[in-house]
Structure formats: C-alpha cells, structure tokens
Amino acid sequence: MALGTALVLAAGGAQAQALPASRTAELERLVIQDCGSCHGLTLKGGLGPDIRPLTLEGMEPESLAAIILDGVPGTAMPPWRPLLSEEEAIWIAEFLLKGEAR
C-alpha cells in the first residue's frame, strides 16, 4: 500500500463517522446484498470467506479497508475503489468488525 493511501486511510477512521445517514444506509445495503452475494447472506462464507467479527478479529480497519478498495488479486474479490471512497471503505470495515451487519 502506498504511503499516501495509508495516511488517508489512517485519517479516514475519524472521518468515517461523519458520513451522512443516507450514505451509511446505502453502505449497509451494499454489505448485505453485494458482499453477501459472495460471502453469504449471513456473511458466514460462500464463494468468499467468512467475514464475521470473530473471523476478522485482530484485523485493523485500515487493512480491511485496503482489501475492500483494492480487492485480492487471483481471487473473486474485486476492487471496490471505483465505487467507494476511502472513508466509505473504512466505515464498511468498522461496520464489519463491530458485527453490525446481520
């Protein structure tokens, strides 16, 4: 990860809380519908791995956000950077880590 991206992601944690409620509602739907289409509707795994808090335990939000933004080469995990900002990816990472999705 580039230093600039790391710095933006590190700063993004504080900004992630400032997303408008309408956007956080859209991001919640994205996690359930889009992430759930590969990771299972309960996020217990499917084509993609289990992404519930117990499985993600110990991951930093910034590391998870980098995976969300840039995908995982050689796997079915696509990069979401064209559709999500770094702040939104941090918000999703924190959402997953807290277990707020289903």
**Total number of domains constituting the chain:** 1
Provide the domain limits for residue 20. 3-98
Q: Identify the pLDDT of residue 100.
A: 79
Average pLDDT, the chain: 86
In this prediction, residue 18 has a pLDDT band, given cuts at 50, 70 and 90, of confident
Q: Is 43 exposed, middle or buried (0-12, 13-18, 19+ CB in 10 A)?
A: buried
Higher confidence at residue 4 or residue 45? 45
Whole-prediction pTM: 0.81
**How far is Cα 43 from Cα 23, in angstroms, rounded to an integer?**
21
Q: Identify the pLDDT of residue 7.
A: 36
**How far is Cα 62 from Cα 94, in angstroms, rounded to an integer?**
9
Q: What is the CATH number of the domain that holds 27?
A: 1.10.760.10
Higher confidence at residue 17 or residue 63? 63
